[in-house]
Each structure stands twice: as structure tokens, then as C-alpha cells.
Structure 1
Amino acid sequence: MCDLRKTKLIDKISSLELYKYSIFFRNYIENVAEDCLKNGLVLESTDHNVSEVELTRLKVQLKNALLNCIISYRFHGIGYVLVKTKDTLIDLEQPVNIELPIGFEYLDYEYVRDLGVDFDHITYKVKSNNKNNSLDAVKIHKSRLIIYENFDYILKRYVPCYTESFLLDIY
């Protein structure tokens, strides 16, 4: 027997709204990410010219980017961190060379277009420097990214860590 009240609720439940307003769902998404990083990170360089201050700065950037990446993974099924190098935006399409990262940046899921695990690139929308603040698409090679994903090969899509029935139970 079908419960029509529950059927109608499923159409109205927005995981984004639930994330904003439900402390339980927000904790379900964020606590695992915080627990993953609570023991800290060890970041070392084989290059002896890198100072401890520089490594500490990189470690803080990496930890913040990974926290957002894991939250995105739990919420959307995938998260991206760009390993910044001295390359320009045009060079991001090429595979990364062996060089020291100069920073780490979380890439917002809403601006990423990923065609799946079989492709070598993603497309990321960045603000251009023109007057109307439009978005330009930049192609980024996946070797320049830290990707945390849950790809379902049967469904051929990235799957978040919750189900619709779980959202209904929270709601």
C-alpha cells in the first residue's frame, strides 16, 4: 500500500535546504569530514629549500580544502581540490609536471562539470576579469586534482552518502 503523504514529501525534500536547516543532517555530513582530519596532516618536501613556514602555510590550505572536499563528497558524491602550481589558467589543461605545489584550492561542486571517470579533464567555471563578471570555462587535467569520489559504475554517476529514504526519515 502506498502512502500518498510520503510520496508527495519526497518531491518536496531538498537536500540543500535540509543541510541548511537541519542540525542533524548537517552534523551527518560535516562530522565525518572533521573526524577524518582531526589528527592533522603531515606535509613534507624532498626539496631542502622549502621553509617550515611555507610547509605550514600549505598544510593549512590543504586541510581547509580537504575539509570542503570531504563535505562535498558526502553531500554530492564527489569533491575536488586543485593542486595549484605556477602555471597559468591556460596550462591547467596539460598534465602536471613534477613541481612543488604553491597552494591548494577547493573547487566548488556547483561550478564543476565532470563527464565521469573515463575522461581526463573537468571543466570549471571561473569569474573572468571583465565588467559584467561573467563566467569562463577552464579545462583542468585530472592529474592536477585531488578527487574524492563515490562513483557508481552501475548507475554511471556519483552517488552521495545518503538516500532519499534517509532524507525522508530526517524530514
Structure 2
Amino acid sequence: MAVPPCFAGCGQKKLEHLIKSIGIELKYGINNSSAQRGQRDNGALHSALSLWRKIMSVQDVHARVTRDNGWWAISVDEIPGLFSQARRLDQVEAMVRDAASLLGFEVAGVEIIPMLDADTQEMLVELEQARQDAEEKQRAASNLTRQAIKQFRGEGLTLRDIASLVGLSQQRVSVLMKQ
């Protein structure tokens, strides 16, 4: 059975189920009765394609991007035939939306998945972990600063002395005391 390009990758069972569940009888090789074998009903095909596009038209997609000769090559598995390219990663989402609209699809959201070599991917994971660790340490330092300000103020120190001890401006100490 020849499958129309927009159904590529769908699989015959899924396609048959979709068509039966929406009540369209498609005579495009799926119904294999002897009288209809080899015949195509283009009206039914057109109806099924239109309905398929409406059902599948708004969706979240995953844009896989690979660096190639100064460009990011883009492919989207959820929309068969969607391939594009962009100079920068910040242009990928717009390129995906534009290419999808040319193919008759509306994209709700685009998740960009850079396909990087193992060393680069590992470096990015380490970078993210280091940032999370830094944020956690910053929160801990902020909490300690507030505790120290509260304790020093309780001991009767002036704003100027507290600011000198904790290494902040008097204005910042004043704001932290009010929180």
C-alpha cells in the first residue's frame, strides 16, 4: 500500500484506527475487498488528509538541531518532511513555525533539542549543575546575612556598624531588616 507523504511514519494500524474512529471510509488500499482492490477514492483521500491535518495541526513539537557548516540543521519528527536551517539557535523556533505553516500545520510549542557530541553535552550538564550549586550557596549566604543582621541589631549595633560587618551598604541592611 502506498501511503501519502503526510501519513509517513504513522503506520498502517494507526492510520486505519484514525480513519475508522473519525468515521471516514478511505478506499486507498486499506479496504482490500476484491471489488475495490487497487482502486483509489480521491475524495475520501482528500477528506481524510484534510481531517488529519486539522487534528494534527496544533501540537507541541521537538526540533532536533545539529551544527553543520556554520548552520543549525533542523528536523521535526512530529511533522514529516519538516526540515529547515538557521544561523543561530534563537532563530530555530521561528524557522520551525514558518516551515510548519507552509506544510499546513500550526505549532503550539517548540522544544529545541541540540544534538551535541558527548563531551560538549557533558560539559553543559556540568555547567547546569555548577549554576544550581551557586544558586543554592547564594540562598544560604542570603539567609546567613539576614540572621547576622537580626542578631547584630538585637545587640544594639548601628546600621553603619552592621553594614561594615556584613559587607553591605547601609541602605541594603535597612531593606533586609524590614523583610
User: What TM-score results when the alignment is normalised by the length of structure 2?
Assistant: 0.20
* More relative contact order, 1 or 2 (CA 8 Å, 6+ apart): 1
- Greater C-alpha radius of gyration: 2
After TM superposition, the score normalised by the length of structure 1 is: 0.21
Whose strand proportion is higher, 1 or 2? 1
